[in-house]
Structure 1
Amino acid sequence: MYNTNWRPNRMTKNISLIGFISGILIAVLVGTLPLTGIPPEGQKCLAISLMAVVWWATKVVHPGYTSMTLLVGYVLLGVAPANVVFRLWTTPIIYMIIGAYLIAAAVHESGLGKRIAYLYIIKYVNSYRSIIIGMYVLGFLLSFLIPHPWPRSFLIMSVVAIIVKSAKIPVKDAVNIGLAVFAGSVPTSMILLTGDATVNPVAIEMSGQTVSWLGWLWYMGVPGVVATLLTLALQLVMYKPTAEVNINKEEIRGLLKDLGPVSGMELRCMIWIGLAILLWATDGIHKIHCGWVAIVMAMGLALPKVGGVLKPSSWKDVPIETAFFLTAALAIGTVGGHTGMNKWIADVLLPTNAPANPFMFGLFVTAIAVVIHMCLGSVMAVMGIAIPTLIQFGNSAGMNPLVPSLLVYGAIFIHYVLPFHHMNILVGLGEKQGGYSDKDVIRFGIPLTAIVFIMPMAITIPWWKIIGLL
């Protein structure tokens, strides 16, 4: 996804203008070429989709506007009916996303998140190394309560700022700690389906399959944990402290004391979120989708007496532009399948038959996904393009659609070289956020790419073979 607070600057204006013109020219060219084997609606879908991808990549306008251009273009040009184009809004996925933002707001407003962070630091954080480890652990623990990585990361950073100041941590080490907060949010978000309620459910939706909350944990829990440990190990090896760190725990205890005893608001927040976790974990039994659970829990958090945590102003934390961006990213695959575009792309660009060997298939899919991601940057845009095409490709080898879908997701979700390659990294860029720079991200992202390719070959595919997905 793109930054919802994105604004153009002088450096990007020329690129944006070039992207604007190029996108239109590409759309006209592709829409008028005498392509064979693709239905007319599929050709129009390809033209509009490529224009949108170019506009997203070059940040012609805010991504929400590009997304609406794509969606309305599909409908007005007769590419697909509105119920196909806007399909996401008829599924519980979109309500899971809305619910996730509201639940995150409740945890923040109640003070529950800060209390957990303070308690963890007082008990487990004693050195620079334990701070780095703690950023990953806290990110995972808070993923049970806050189903989106950005508010988790900013909550943790608000506590980290206190540690850095009170312990007088050198700037270079403080930068590494800030990077740990946001870099750690990437792999830890893979472990739970609700670890990133914006992206994870969409990866399942694009596969056309149904996976429960525990089902996701079964398929992606081990890969997510291993990716977390490998990323953490890489950071500990690459970034050594420049000075000894002495944590002033008395100051943290003072801040915890200032919060007072657990408030009624915190208690109600814990009860509602505890109920949500219980219902998410048992969705395979009661068959209520996680999205409906999320939105009902958000409603409960707003009710008087039994809730009272969410206020009318809490709706400001739900970014409508992000919802439409996700709708557009999903629509590329959905409309592409509806019009025959996906099949045509697979037939033209990919070999006739997919490798029968799952390891070769995994390596091929990972390489394709990473190359596209390097160019486009957006996780959701790459998923929208690559997943439907590679599912079509995998059909020739009898692959379960979940396999290419989760392989693409697993590759691009933990991959980044530049900050714009991952929103979890981009939102923390700069002195006022995580403190790290483009150079810090590149230095960490290049060796991290090795982990991207190690994961499917050494962990993900062997694990899937053990549990029977392959």
Structure 2
Amino acid sequence: MHKGNEDKKMITKGIKKKTTTTNNIPNSILLIAYTFIVPILIVLVRPLEMSIRQSLLLACLLLTITWWTTNVIKKNYASLFLLGTFLIEGSSTLRTIFRFPLSSNFFVIACSFLLSQGIVNSNVANRISKKILNRYGRTPYQLIALSFILSFIINFLIPQPFSRVILIAGIYTQFLSQMNISSRTKEILLYSIFVASTSTSMLFINGDIVLNNSALEFGRISIGWIEWAVNMGLPSLLTTLIMGISFCIVFRRDLKESLFIEPEGGWEGTKPSDKEKIATLIMVVVVLLWATETYHHINSAVVAIIGTLAMFVCGILGWKDVKRVNIDLLLFLTVAYAIGSVLNESGIAHIIYGNLVNIFPKEYSPLYMLIIILTVMGLHMVLGSSITTLSVAVPGLIELTKGKMEAVPLVLLAYIIVNIHYLLPFHHVTIMIGAGEYYTTKTVFRYGLVQTMIVLMVAFMIYIPWWRLIGIL
């Protein structure tokens, strides 16, 4: 009797498992089918008197953005779909579509993955971080401050935020495992690393080699290392301080009850190895050459390639490290960079922004700036990806604001918004890296609500007044 009941349970369990497996396939297909509803309506309705060709292109773009946002289709497959659409549609030249792979930014970004890995391999950043943590990380508030300080220091060694946050988070995790603190306090301290990376990335042009250069590329403007530091350095430093203070205030209750103890092994470390010294020298030379490009005129891509080759020659990088170059990201960037140009050359951007022009005031004013900010914020909340938002918003806004606002402050303003305004992890790639493993979506949302107000405050009280003072606005 007992055996019969067991068999019955096993059969029932098997049926349930089979039913679940069977149901999963239609559900995934159904989700993909739902993503076609709006694009099909666009083709049928042909809004704003678009031609069939234009409405079809717009439909494919919205379909791809939906796939990017929801992940119902893998990002690289979605990217290939849109790339194929651009090639078949035929309104844009190959040079326009492949503008990113043909640019120096492509080589700078690709080499930055390898340069970052070289620094990780050599143990330089690890040594710096541990030494500072062991000496100054005695309280939760000190550790939050160190998240921002370390992000700033390692900016000069690793021009790639993904590698920075993963490295610092690993060091923090090991350090915090020796402390008598709650899991909630540990979560907040780890989250501070990722928040710090977003704000400190704005201080220098190589702070986020992908997003910073992408913003300039979408705006078709050229800014050197020194010019970026003048335009963004001081206001971004003040913004970083505001974000650090607000972070401590928002999570103050989670940081009260903590007991920090001296980690095992004391506070001293070993002497730097030859590999560490060589890697540090290479990165110092690379950063200095990037910073002084205006004077010596050696292209930043050439500097990055030479620095990468030097690390290979010195044995800091090996062929196994080549896989650290994120091919999926480079494919995504190729498509994202092409979006604005394709929309312009196909006439879609002119139609859309021609209808939006009535929303904007006739003259430049605080209200004018507020509408720009809210437009970019709204697009970012819907599109999710910072890169995608910039690729869609920047080219169109430049056309809309022509004659009323210079491209440089417009591009920098849009960049600031997408970089420090995130309500959910998918709104920022760096934040998404740590979500789930180090902190929850609820934690991101809690601070994200405060960041919405911070973005408006720093835009109107810090960045815009500063740009007026230095004469770019």
Same fold (TM over 0.5): yes
Gaps spanning 5+ residues in structure 1: where? 1-8
Q: Conserved in 2, the CA contact under 8 Å of 1:19 and 1:58?
A: no
1:126 to partner: Cα distance? 2.4
The percentage of counterpart residues that share the same residue type is: 27
Superposed CA deviations along residues 334-392 of structure 1, whole A, max 9, x for unmatched, are 21122222222110233275553353332111101111111121111111111111111
1:406 to partner: Cα distance? 1.5
Larger mean Cα displacement after TM superposition, 161-170 or 25-34: 25-34
1:34 to partner: Cα distance? 4.6
Choose the corresponding residue for 1:62, options 60, 74, 89: 74
Q: Distance in 2 between matches of 1:13 and 1:354?
A: 50
Q: Conserved in 1, the CA contact under 8 Å of 2:185 and 2:258?
A: no
SS in 1 for 2:401: helix
Partner of 2:320: 313
1:42 to partner: Cα distance? 4.4
Choose the corresponding residue for 1:373, options 365, 380, 384: 380
Q: Distance in 1 between matches of 2:116 and 2:192?
A: 21
The one-letter amino acid paired with 1:177 is: L
Superposed CA deviations along residues 140-173 of structure 1, whole A, max 9, x for unmatched, are 1111111111211111112112221222222121
Q: Does residue 400 of structure 1 match 2:406?
A: yes
Q: Distance in 2 between matches of 1:183 and 1:52?
A: 28
Partner of 2:357: 350
Q: Does residue 246 of structure 1 match 2:227?
A: no
Q: Does residue 284 of structure 1 match 2:294?
A: yes
Q: Distance in 1 between matches of 2:393 and 2:114?
A: 30
Superposed CA deviations along residues 401-442 of structure 1, whole A, max 9, x for unmatched, are 122222111111101111111121111112xx32x1111111
Q: Does residue 143 of structure 1 match 2:155?
A: yes
Choose the corresponding residue for 1:297, options 281, 301, 307: 307
Q: Distance in 2 between matches of 1:16 and 1:367?
A: 34
1:12 to partner: Cα distance? 10
1:92 to partner: Cα distance? 0.6
CA 105–10 in structure 1, closer or farther in 2 if over 3 Å, else same: farther
Q: Conserved in 2, the CA contact under 8 Å of 1:269 and 1:301?
A: yes
Q: Distance in 1 between matches of 2:27 and 2:418?
A: 24
Alignment of 1:167-178 (within 5 A): 167-178=179-190
Number of residues of Structure 1 aligned to a counterpart in Structure 2: 451
SS in 1 for 2:259: coil
Partner of 1:338: 345
Superposed CA deviations along residues 120-139 of structure 1, whole A, max 9, x for unmatched, are 22333222211110011101
Choose the corresponding residue for 1:438, options 429, 436, 441: 441
Q: Distance in 1 between matches of 2:463 and 2:23?
A: 40
CA 34–443 in structure 1, closer or farther in 2 if over 3 Å, else same: closer
Partner of 2:462: 459
Superposed CA deviations along residues 168-201 of structure 1, whole A, max 9, x for unmatched, are 2221211110110111111111111111111110
CA 79–40 in structure 1, closer or farther in 2 if over 3 Å, else same: farther
Q: Conserved in 1, the CA contact under 8 Å of 2:198 and 2:419?
A: yes
SS in 2 for 1:123: helix
Q: Distance in 2 between matches of 1:384 and 1:459?
A: 25
1:27 to partner: Cα distance? 3.4
Q: Conserved in 1, the CA contact under 8 Å of 2:91 and 2:345?
A: no
CA 293–156 in structure 1, closer or farther in 2 if over 3 Å, else same: same
The one-letter amino acid paired with 1:159 is: I
Q: Distance in 2 between matches of 1:82 and 1:10?
A: 43
Q: Conserved in 1, the CA contact under 8 Å of 2:46 and 2:55?
A: no
Normalised by the length of structure 1, the TM-score is 0.90
Partner of 1:6: none
Q: Distance in 1 between matches of 2:228 and 2:160?
A: 16
Q: Distance in 2 between matches of 1:382 and 1:134?
A: 31
Q: Conserved in 2, the CA contact under 8 Å of 1:207 and 1:401?
A: yes
Q: Distance in 2 between matches of 1:252 and 1:179?
A: 26
Q: Distance in 1 between matches of 2:89 and 2:461?
A: 46
Larger mean Cα displacement after TM superposition, 286-295 or 261-270: 286-295
CA 226–10 in structure 1, closer or farther in 2 if over 3 Å, else same: farther
Normalised by the length of structure 2, the TM-score is 0.89
Q: Distance in 2 between matches of 1:222 and 1:10?
A: 58
The one-letter amino acid paired with 1:296 is: I
Q: Does residue 47 of structure 1 match 2:50?
A: no
Q: Distance in 2 between matches of 1:101 and 1:252?
A: 33
Superposed CA deviations along residues 282-311 of structure 1, whole A, max 9, x for unmatched, are 0111223323322321122111xxx22111
CA 62–36 in structure 1, closer or farther in 2 if over 3 Å, else same: closer
Q: Conserved in 2, the CA contact under 8 Å of 1:128 and 1:245?
A: no
Q: Distance in 1 between matches of 2:285 and 2:229?
A: 18
Q: Does residue 262 of structure 1 match 2:268?
A: no
The one-letter amino acid paired with 2:267 is: R
Choose the corresponding residue for 2:169, options 153, 157, 171: 157
The one-letter amino acid paired with 1:465 is: R
CA 43–354 in structure 1, closer or farther in 2 if over 3 Å, else same: farther
SS in 1 for 2:72: coil
1:24 to partner: Cα distance? 3.5
Whichever of the two has the greater Rg, that structure is 2
